[in-house]
Amino acid sequence: MAYFGIPSRHLPSPGHRGSLPSGLGDSEEDQFRRGAAALKAALDLNPRGGYVKGSRAREALEKAIDLIPDARAADFGIHLTTGSGPIAELFRYRLAPETLATVIDLLKNKAAREVARVRAEIRRREIERQQIERRIQQDEQRIRDLTRRLCDVINQVCGSEGNSSDQCTSARSMALQNGIRCP
């Protein structure tokens, strides 16, 4: 199924409900659908003087591109420039080469923003992973230190009371029950 000539992989599932008013918990698919519909409407304007900078038609065109989610901008730009279907054909044949290049640049900028956002998120997660790793290493070191101190205390008890004493046997048994083997 295609929506205005856009391949179905770019659209929500067939059972998808209508979209919400702009900005109210929109999903990426809702935003994309609205952007594609707005672009089709802007291209259908087909103004006599073209999509001249500062004109209402150009403003509608730019607003439509603004609606396309950053994460979908690169694929959508590729579809518009190389794909088939009503929107892609209107896009290539209705826009002057300079306007077409400007719109493609807008989509490239959106895609670049998405790449930067993803890189920042990857970096944030890497820093978070390193912090967690550092805390784990610190906790493991604390456990080793506490285990060594416990064994030192148990060995002191066993040294002063004797290895076969009830206190020594009980301390070693308690340590073993908790997975601690003292030499």
pLDDT, tens digit, 9 for 90 and up, residues 75-130: 999 999 998 889 999 999 999 999 999 999 999 999 999 999 999 999 999 999 99
Predicted pLDDT of residue 20: 40
Predicted pLDDT of residue 25: 61
Q: Which residue has the higher pLDDT, 154 or 21?
A: 154
How many Å separate Cα 16 from the centre of its chain? 22
Q: Look up tokens 């290049």; give the residue.
A: 101
The residue range of the domain holding 87 is 8-127
Read off the pLDDT band of 154 (50, 70, 90): very high
Report yes or no: 133 and 162 within 8 Å, Cβ to Cβ.
Answer: no
Domain for residue 99, yes or no?
Answer: yes
Q: SS3 string of 73-139? A: HHHHHHHHHHCCCHHHHHHHHHCCHHHHHHHHHHHHHHHHHHHHHHHHHHHHHHHHHHHHHHHHHHH
Read off the pLDDT band of 10 (50, 70, 90): very low
Domain for residue 43, yes or no?
Answer: yes
Domain for residue 137, yes or no?
Answer: no
Sequence length of the chain is 183
Q: Cα–Cα distances in Å, from 98 out to 44, 67, 75, 102, 106?
A: 19, 21, 21, 6, 12
Q: What is the count of structural domains for the chain? A: 1
Domain for residue 165, yes or no?
Answer: no
Domain for residue 135, yes or no?
Answer: no
Domain for residue 178, yes or no?
Answer: no
Predicted pLDDT of residue 5: 47
Read off the pLDDT band of 183 (50, 70, 90): confident
Read off the pLDDT band of 1 (50, 70, 90): very low
Domain for residue 133, yes or no?
Answer: no
Report yes or no: 111 and 70 within 8 Å, Cβ to Cβ.
Answer: yes
Q: Which residue has the higher pLDDT, 41 or 18?
A: 41
Domain for residue 56, yes or no?
Answer: yes
